[in-house]
Structure 1
């Protein structure tokens, strides 16, 4: 191993550790959630923004998907967020 003779890349400390940004987990009113869907056959995309992740916004997004795809099956891949499997959904 040879000693480094050039400065480290940005975001790396001189001793070789990655410098991480401070995480800000504040949930202020400026937070926006984005829902998105893609129809691979022709590349059509559906996107929607919302002020929160709840069942009402998720149902509105699903309605947008259904309106854009009136015939045929729709496959939805989600995580286990409670609004994705609530009684209303």
Structure 2
């Protein structure tokens, strides 16, 4: 594959509605885009720790949305900012 043929992605920060169980496990339920589009997360298939592109600690959730597998990332905030827990993003292909 030619270096110029590689797919480029960018982070798009989104709002995510989540539930927390009694053990503190975070379960994402809906993804809400900046323009208001809302997508139900039908299933969480996998969860794993994953550092972000910016090398911040985070998590990757493999989720099902409209019958398709997608990756949803939770980027933990810099520990110096205790009032911010983190934020969600998806990676979107750019041309």
Q: Which TM-score tier does this pair reach, normalised by the shorter chain?
A: under 0.3
Q: Larger Cα Rg: Structure 1 or Structure 2? A: 1
Which is richer in helix?
A: 1
Higher relative contact order (CA 8 A, sep 6+): 2
| Normalised TM-score (structure 2) | 0.22
Which is richer in strand?
A: 2
